[in-house]
Amino acid sequence: MSALQLFIVQRLTALIMAPLVLAHLAVMAYAIHGGLSVAEILGRTQGSWLWFGFYGLFVVAASSHAAIGLRAVLTEWVGFRGRLGGRLRDLGCAVFGLALFGLGARAVWAVTLANTATAGVGL
Amino acid sequence: MERQVPGKEFLSVTVQRGQPGEAVRMQTFQVPAQDNQSVLDVVSWIQQNANPSLTYRFACRVGMCGSCAMMVNDVPRWTCRTHVSKVAKAGVIAIAPLRNLPLIKDLVADLDPFFDKWTDAEAHHHPTRDRDQPIAAVDPDSRERRQANAGIECINCAVCYAACDTVAGNPDFLGPAALQRAWTLYNDTKNADKNAVLDAVTGQGGCHTCHSLGSCTNLCPNELDPTAAIAGLKRASARRFFGRD
Ligand code: SF4
Ligand code: SF4
Ligand code: FES
């Protein structure tokens, strides 16, 4: 991706994450202060396309945002530049982003659609 | 050398000495304090009265030419217009060549990389007309002209370039002054090739590398705002990316 494309993705994901982070914090506060049990939480999230969409979008945005940010840190602070350094850096950041995405996607899948996908229950 | 007069105040001035290939060292001089004294006056006093081999650069002494910038107590300043009372800490001043640039000798940094980046940023005029055509009218109140005007008083002193931590971290970064120049050209109705300018500043090390930390704007002696100019380039590149320009 070009410097411009990375910049656009970085800004768009920031824009997406800003409200999602606030909503996530509000949900956490609600879940903990309301004293919801694990079963109660799962009861609300499982089978919900809404929560799947919410946290799915979050995971996509966070993993790409973090990978692009890490790329800048490696460029400026570790000196990964030039042909070889740049390649290594980009490969490393792509792997890092994909790993974050994998971990996040697995968690989102587990708390939302995992058991219902096979049962075919929606919303 | 001036004799130490009782009751007369002295500044303790440390200057960096040395050139590539030898160990850089610090040398301290006692310089008579005056009521009105610029940092450049202090450097000149040392060269004229204490150590004639001290190498430094200046030309106009009035803040026009941009050749006298140095690190003063670790902050880049135009030395000819920086009053000692503004920067001395308990009568102590440390002076070094501009940061982020190669050393030539003593207090003189090599500005070549700084100017090369102006060229890399397409920071030259792309004419719309030839000499036989009438001169294009420029509307001084237009938004573009006002944005261009905000950046044209740059004296190429490289203070902003030395101030920028992103240049320090990434030598490929074009830096605040070259990008600001590109922004003034981008907004110049007499400049034919806006897209060439935008292309030149959106690659690796281009405007998107800037973290908007604002050290450049903070320290520019002419009170210009390269941070805002760079933000303008980022906006323009995003607009073009989404096909809105
Ligand atoms: S705003 Fe950008 S150009 Fe200016 S000092 Fe910060 S990183 Fe450098
Ligand atoms: S923008 Fe300001 S600090 Fe930078 S080179 Fe121009 S006058 Fe100097
Ligand atoms: S000597 Fe010209 S700007 Fe300082």
Residue A54 within a domain:
yes
Q: Please give the C-alpha separations between residue A31 and each of A22, A44, B74, in angstroms, as whole numbers.
A: 14, 11, 51
Is residue B18 domain-shared with residue B76, that is, in the same domain? yes
Residue A15 within a domain:
yes
Q: B169 vs A8: CB contact, 8 Å cut-off?
A: no
Give residue A49's domain range.
10-118
To the nearest whole Å, the CA of A52 is away from the closest chain B CA by 29
Residue B4 within a domain:
no
The domain total for chain A is 1
Residue B2 within a domain:
no
Q: B202 vs A2: CB contact, 8 Å cut-off?
A: yes
Residue B177 has pLDDT above 60, yes or no: yes
Residue A2 within a domain:
no
Residue B59, domain CATH: 3.10.20.30
Is residue B191 domain-shared with residue B154, that is, in the same domain? yes
Mark which of B82, B109, B136 sits at the end of a domain.
B109
Mark which of B46, B77, B109 sits at the end of a domain.
B109
DSSP state of B93: E
Cβ atoms < 10 Å from Cβ of B69: 30
| pLDDT > 90: percent of chain B | 87
Give residue B38's domain range.
10-109
Return the structure tokens found at B116.
């090369």
Residue A72 within a domain:
yes
Which tens digits make up the pLDDT trace of A45-104? Answer: 898 899 999 999 999 999 999 999 999 999 999 999 988 999 999 999 999 999 999 999
Closest residue to B241, CB basis, from A8, A75, A76:
A8
Q: What is the pLDDT of residue B124?
A: 84
Ranges of beta strands (E only) in B75-178 are 75-78, 92-96, 103-105, 108-109
Residue B3 within a domain:
no
Residue A4 within a domain:
no
Residue B214, domain CATH: 1.10.1060.10
Is residue B46 domain-shared with residue B84, that is, in the same domain? yes
Using a CB-CB cut-off of 8 Å, the residues of chain A touching B234 are: 7
Residue A35 has pLDDT above 90, yes or no: no
Mark which of B109, B141, B168 sits at the end of a domain.
B109
Is residue B197 domain-shared with residue B137, that is, in the same domain? yes
Which tens digits make up the pLDDT trace of B90-105? Answer: 999 999 999 999 999 9
Evaluate: CB of B157 within 6 angstroms of ligand 2.
yes
Helix axes A38-45, A82-111, angle to 10 degrees: 100
Is residue B171 domain-shared with residue B212, that is, in the same domain? yes
Residue B14 within a domain:
yes
In this complex, is the C-beta atom of B202 within 8 Å of any C-beta atom belonging to chain A?
yes
- Per-residue pLDDT averaged across B194-206, rounded? 94
Q: Please, are residues B12 and B92 in contact by the beta-carbon 8 Å criterion?
A: yes
Using a CB-CB cut-off of 8 Å, the residues of chain B touching A6 are: 208
Is residue B100 domain-shared with residue B183, that is, in the same domain? no
Residue A64 within a domain:
yes
Residue A36 within a domain:
yes
| Residues 6 or more apart in contact with residue B167 via CB below 8 angstroms | B100, B161, B173, B175
Is residue B180 domain-shared with residue B125, that is, in the same domain? yes
Is residue B78 domain-shared with residue B188, that is, in the same domain? no
Evaluate: CB of B41 within 6 angstroms of ligand 3.
no
Q: Please give the C-alpha separations between residue B75 and each of A9, B25, B66, B95, B169, in angstroms, as whole numbers.
A: 35, 19, 16, 9, 17
Residue B139 within a domain:
yes
* Ligand nearest, relative to CA of residue B61: 3
Ranges of beta strands (E only) in chain B are 10-17, 25-32, 69-72, 75-78, 92-96, 103-105, 108-109
Residue B34 within a domain:
yes
Q: Please, are residues B201 and B121 in contact by the beta-carbon 8 Å criterion?
A: yes
Provide the whole-model pTM. 0.89
Residue B29 within a domain:
yes
- For chain B, the average pLDDT equals 94
The domain total for chain B is 2
The residue with tokens 């650069």 is B57
Residue B5 within a domain:
no
- A-B interface: how many C-beta pairs under 8 angstroms? 32
